[in-house]
Structure 1
Amino acid sequence: MMNTLAIALMTLTITGHQTDTPRGLLVIERASVKPIRSIQVPARQAGPISEIFVEENQLVVEGALLAKLDDAETLIRKLAAEGELNAARAQAEEDVEVATAKAAHGVARAEVDDSIRVNALAPGAIAGTELRRQELTEQRAGAQVKVEEVNFAVAKLTVSIREQQLALVNHELAERQIKAPWAGLIEKVIGEEGAWVQPGDPVVNVVQMDRLRVDAFVKADDVAPYELIGKTAEITISLPNGRKEKVIGKVDYASQVEVSSKDFHIWIEFDNVRVPLPESTKDSAVYFLYRPGMAAKVEIRMDDSQF
């Protein structure tokens, strides 16, 4: 008797979950509204939160600055890095030392050549020791040219190194800024100004609210996932006080993997509706008619007709 009752109850539950009507509708009685995207935006560096720029229920655009960690020390290191880069560029812009060394080498070479010509005209006029001294001076001047050329090349490399060091400091400054990864609504400010955070600690929760989706499960025995993609769906969403509103969407996703109950997952995206607020409400506050967590009923047209 108990087994018979259990089977009967299970049959009623499955029938209430999804029905297929003579009108060519696939009816899913129980579905739920969920956000398409929701994220707890984390800190990427360790340190105290110096400022929070947003409030709950405020809309933000992609890349909006949500909060900032203390960056006083990093700014000082940036100034130092900029100074070192400017100094390196000044050394690398002009090869004055190379030109001077080449000129000195030219003078030394000319002095040796003159002494050789003098001795050719008047042998012994320039003592051998003097000529060897001049030749040594010329060799040293030639070596100094190579030294200055190496120094100039190192100066150019130093500019590149200083540029990378400055880029690293700028990257750290950017990492201390907490920005919105995409446009959405500030659902909750988790962090507090002055509070110390570690990398990965959530600071602000951002939820996409202008567009939501309805999640539902379909019996795999009744329809294949590919048959639902692009089908028109009418979604009836349950609001407070027993009210219901209908929206139209299309099936955007159908899983090809069945769950243990032989159902597969689908979702249908739809546009949300902003609710007008009294003038006394904060200018930054925004509210929407449909919210994640609301119950919904889904009717899908299997014959490609419109609602």
Structure 2
Amino acid sequence: MPLSPHRNLLALTLAGPLLLGSWLAASGASAQGYRLPADQPPARQLNADSHQIGNCTVDLVDTIELPAPEAGVLIFQGMKEGARVKSEDVIAKIDTRMQEMEKKVATYKYHAAVKRANDDIEIKYSRKAQEVAQAELEEVEGVRANFEKAISDPQYRKAKLEAERAMLAIEKATNDLKLALLEAYVAKGEVEAADLQIERRTVRSPFDGEVTKVYRHQQEWVNPGDPILQLVRMDTLRVEGLVPLGKLSPAEVKGCEVTITAKATNGVEKATGRIVSYNPVLRRGDESQRFIVRAEISNRTRNGEWVLLPGMDATMTIHLGTGGVATGSNSNNNQK
């Protein structure tokens, strides 16, 4: 006898491993690397013009206080101030024994639901019972056709009722199997939810960074939102400077490549990057109106330590024509 359509659906939907992957691996969820403007290939220069800005400040691009997502005891927190981490590194773990037990219960429920969804014995029995009841009804009808008084009306109605009950029993068994399939879906969702609760109690680094402050230690109790540690990004920094509006427009500098020169302990350090944004609110200076530009630059290490540090004073050289639109002088030359 061929399998019913819901059996084929069941085989397709419930196939695969029982234990499900974590939330970060399933959703999606793998994190894509952040492609910085400073890492993009250099643009073709339209001209050799440049503009230099002094009194710039080196600052952080990313700084975050990693919070505890759930309440519980920190069973792991091995980070100290100055530690360097990679993106997705485990920062801390909260006790998950209760969630592990809930997952075990959900897994047993899933096994039971799958077994019930695959059990078609009731359907087979109902079909056999219907065949017997239909045969008995046909015999009763045959006897009544030949000997009208041999079988009373109540006896006939009872035989007919039994045949109809057997037919309805097949329909009920089929519906029960469909409900069992839905229960399997629910149980599978409970297993996934338990996995998510376990993963939520693992705190991971959102980017490559350095620990600058530790607020909670191992075996301490945390509540949702309590900061565990402070993490800053050092491989990419931000530099801000003021550009006179009378000399350059925001459209001319946006997206341009820049060279940053900063005074360090061992002399002058240089870094390259790109202007990523500007503040449209002008600032009035002694001589002209100026607007703030923000560039992101690539930092590097020497002897294991970062060359550029937040708070350093720097000079920004904007290489015009490498982003945005051409400068005014170059645009006039192109029109001639």
TM-score (norm 2): 0.73
- Aligned pairs (5 A) from 1:49-60: 49-60=74-85
- Aligned pairs (5 A) from 1:8-27: 26-27=51-52
Measured after TM superposition, the shift of residue 190 of structure 1 is: 2.6
Aligned to 1:205: 230
Measured after TM superposition, the shift of residue 58 of structure 1 is: 3.3
Aligned to 1:291: 309
- Root-mean-square deviation (CA), in Å? 2.5
Aligned to 1:10: none
Measured after TM superposition, the shift of residue 53 of structure 1 is: 4.3
Quick one: which amino acid aligns to residue 216 of structure 1?
A: G
Going from structure 1 to structure 2, the CA distance change for 1:258 and 1:98 (only over 3 Å counts) comes to farther
Measured after TM superposition, the shift of residue 273 of structure 1 is: 1.9
Aligned to 1:245: 269
Measured after TM superposition, the shift of residue 164 of structure 1 is: 1.7
Quick one: which amino acid aligns to residue 171 of structure 1?
A: L
Quick one: which amino acid aligns to residue 291 of structure 2?
A: F
Does the alignment pair 1:181 with 2:199?
A: no
Aligned to 1:235: 260
Going from structure 1 to structure 2, the CA distance change for 1:102 and 1:181 (only over 3 Å counts) comes to same
Aligned to 1:130: 155
Give CA-to-partner distance per residue, 1:97-138, whole Å, 9 cap, x none. Answer: 122122212211111111211332344344443333222222
Q: Quick one: distance in 1 between partners of 2:178 and 2:256? A: 66
Q: Secondary structure, in 3 states, of the residue corresponding to 2:106?
A: helix
Aligned to 1:256: 280
Unaligned runs of 5+ in 1: 1-22, 278-286
Q: Quick one: distance in 2 between partners of 1:198 and 1:299? A: 47
Give CA-to-partner distance per residue, 1:170-193, whole Å, 9 cap, x none. Answer: 111111111112232333333211
Going from structure 1 to structure 2, the CA distance change for 1:31 and 1:116 (only over 3 Å counts) comes to same
Quick one: which amino acid aligns to residue 223 of structure 2?
A: Q
Unaligned runs of 5+ in 2: 1-47, 323-336
Going from structure 1 to structure 2, the CA distance change for 1:250 and 1:150 (only over 3 Å counts) comes to closer
Q: Secondary structure, in 3 states, of the residue corresponding to 1:89?
A: helix
Does the alignment pair 1:62 with 2:80?
A: no
Aligned length: 272
Q: Quick one: distance in 2 between partners of 1:111 and 1:39? A: 79
Q: Quick one: distance in 1 between partners of 2:175 and 2:256? A: 71
Quick one: which amino acid aligns to residue 139 of structure 1?
A: E
- Aligned pairs (5 A) from 1:146-225: 146-225=171-250
1:271 to 298, 301, 321: 298
Runs of 4+ in 1 over 6 A off after TM superposition: none
Going from structure 1 to structure 2, the CA distance change for 1:25 and 1:152 (only over 3 Å counts) comes to closer
Quick one: which amino acid aligns to residue 289 of structure 1?
A: V
Q: Quick one: distance in 1 between partners of 2:149 and 2:80? A: 95
Quick one: which amino acid aligns to residue 111 of structure 1?
A: E
Q: Which deviates further from its counterpart, 182-191 or 205-214?
A: 182-191
Give CA-to-partner distance per residue, 1:32-73, whole Å, 9 cap, x none. Answer: 111222222222112221111444333333222111111110
Q: Quick one: distance in 2 between partners of 1:259 and 1:126? A: 107
Q: Which deviates further from its counterpart, 130-139 or 71-80?
A: 130-139
Q: Quick one: distance in 2 between partners of 1:29 and 1:146? A: 83
% of aligned pairs identical? 26
Q: Is the 8 A contact 1:226 1:254 kept in 2?
A: no
Q: Is the 8 A contact 2:260 2:270 kept in 1?
A: yes
Going from structure 1 to structure 2, the CA distance change for 1:140 and 1:224 (only over 3 Å counts) comes to same
Going from structure 1 to structure 2, the CA distance change for 1:94 and 1:303 (only over 3 Å counts) comes to closer
Going from structure 1 to structure 2, the CA distance change for 1:110 and 1:24 (only over 3 Å counts) comes to closer
Q: Secondary structure, in 3 states, of the residue corresponding to 1:256?
A: coil
- Aligned pairs (5 A) from 1:62-101: 62-101=87-126
Q: Secondary structure, in 3 states, of the residue corresponding to 1:142?
A: helix
Measured after TM superposition, the shift of residue 74 of structure 1 is: 0.6
Quick one: which amino acid aligns to residue 124 of structure 1?
A: K
Q: Quick one: distance in 2 between partners of 1:52 and 1:222? A: 53
Measured after TM superposition, the shift of residue 140 of structure 1 is: 2.4
Measured after TM superposition, the shift of residue 303 of structure 1 is: 7.3
